[in-house]
Structure 1
């Protein structure tokens, strides 16, 4: 018998069982539960046909058309599902609203000897849970620093040293600046970005602090969920202050040799903010592969923009950590010491 699970129960089981998303490929590609496998009941064209039939001739006619389309695929569905969990023969299934698509698919698998559970309310219920979860108060610490300070590597080192971390730029496939998409995979949709953030947000221990990088609201085309963003803006900031020459060296190592056209386009995108002369000088330096000069010129804009954002915070919540070298391991150690001191002072209050 097919069991129906709440979002909480469904995701708890998903830690050890495969999820089958039976929505159309278009729905899945737009956004899905991280880790879910797409086995669509209807392809994009078939879904459109069934929807049109429903509007024109009613539910019964749409169901009959659906059966005609799905009939030849039934054996294939069962074979694909069995391969996902051949030993336990148990899977999770969901569609958009927990209706006919997932119910029919789960019934088929149950009939074929598999154990299938469905998600009450479907993907729509999951999305409601995603958005609601971000309002839950957490203890956040923000890692700040000017462009080129190595914040991503510091976050990774914090994680290696036992801290809880959410790498928003890593999830968004973007480093935040005009140059941020260079060398990165295509960005997820904003909805999928939220799903990815939620997957980590829910897994982390609610009683322990979480480190996030100081970000603008948007990371490329993705937007940090508003409820998390609001918590980030009031959280303490550890501002890692690294000398400009050290930051230039890091940026040269990251971007030198990358597609010249992409670097030119990224520089042109900030022409108005950088200024005409600085932009032209940066483009001339690019033409001569003088990446250090390009970094030096563009940092004039990015440093000013970052410090402006930092000035809008309560100064008493900003902790400056001056580092003379690019050393993520040592920086992470000092940040943990500061965070522990912060936690102790909170307890004593």
Structure 2
């Protein structure tokens, strides 16, 4: 049985009904519903051939070519679908809910699957994604200078039952010139947005949601404008951590990284760091003096942070010193401060 279903309704079933995306591998890689499986009807090259035939010859000829290209694939499609959905309940979509998903739904239905056919396909899903960023959220921003341990603090808050959005994890970048840590690969902009919308979907937007203070861009990815403007207008707790603790933390983190990566990344901020300080920083990297290197670049990053902080509404910025090195104690202190200071997003 094939049942047409709206994107919003299907997303409520995602935990029990797997979703297959029948678009090409290239389309899927560019952006897909988080957790979806790629079961491409056509290869990247085959889709180009079908599209060219559609434009230059006509619809019927393109359909015939499509059947020629997929003729020997159908048993394989069904076998893969059985692995993905052994109980024979499955969701299917293509770009606009047209011929590709319709053909796959027909074949799976014929074999005995219960098929949920997503109306409007991935295009409709992308509309849903943008709608998530327009919603109002009770954001609580966690700020602090580079090396203050904000990410670890967010992770601890999440472990304690707080709602948390880790934008740097979603963007696979730590936000600075060194943010890729020489290993992280960023998703496409479209996939970053999909992942963020998926995280927001699972949260109660009427309850507090912790988010780290970020600029509009994280590496090469941009936070959706409507969500970022909410971040800028939300109350922020600016945590203060001893400089030496910050230096030690960053020196330990960067000390294991490839020296060439660190030097190349330092060169990227030469204009802002200045030629002399860039020279000293690179010398420190080459000689393994990580603390000296960190102290030099922190001058730039601290200045950048203060500039961003000054653009916020001072009435919504609350300073908190965290002197305890135990992350659990820091989190409890932060939560108590939030309650006692009556910080609300309103």
Q: Deviations over 1:133-182 (max 9, x none)?
A: 21111100000000000110000001011110000000111000000011
Shift of 1:324: 2.3
Return the TM-score normalized by structure 1: 0.97
Find the aligned partners of 2:153 and 2:2 in 1 and give their Cα distance: 47
Matches within 5 A, 1:91-110: 91-110=90-109
Query: 2:35 & 2:199 partners in 1: Cα distance?
Result: 13
Residues 246 and 325, structure 1, Cα contact 8 Å, conserved in 2: no
Distance between the aligned counterparts of 2:115 and 2:157, measured in 1?
A: 40
Report what 2:220 is aligned to. 221
Cα RMSD between the aligned structures?
1.4
1:323 Cα deviation after fit: 1.7
Size of the aligned set, in residue pairs, is 346
- Distance in 1, matches of 2:258 and 2:38, equals 34
Q: Deviations over 1:106-132 (max 9, x none)?
A: 110010111111111000000011011
Q: CA deviation at 1:341?
A: 3.5
CA distance in 1, matches of 2:294, 2:240: 17
Structure 1 distance, partners of 2:210, 2:224, is 16
Alignment correspondent of 1:138: 137
When residues 346 and 178 of structure 1 are mapped into structure 2, their CA distance, relative to the original with a 3 A threshold, is closer
CA distance in 2, matches of 1:114, 1:287: 61
In 2, are the aligned partners of 1:242 and 1:325 still within 8 Å (CA)? no
Q: Which residue of 1 is the match for residue 5 of structure 2? A: 5
- The CA deviation string for residues 8-32 of structure 1, in whole angstroms up to 9 with x for no partner, is 1111111211110000000001110
State how far apart, in whole Å, the 1-side matches of 2:326 and 2:178 are. Answer: 23
- Structure 2 residue runs of 5 or longer lacking an equivalent are none
- Structure 1, unaligned runs of 5 or more: none
CA contact (8 A) 1:171 1:196 kept: yes
Residue in 1 that maps onto 2:63: 63
Q: Does 1:83 align with 2:83?
A: yes
Structure 2 Cα separation of the partners of residues 28 and 334 of structure 1: 44
CA distance in 2, matches of 1:326, 1:170: 23
Question: Could you tell me which residue of structure 2 aligns to residue 301 of structure 1?
Answer: 300
Say whether the 8 Å CA contact 2:235–2:344 is kept in structure 1: no
SS in structure 1 at match of 2:251: helix
Partner of 1:172: 171
CA deviation map 1:216-259 (0-9, x unaligned): 00000111111110000010001111111110101011111211
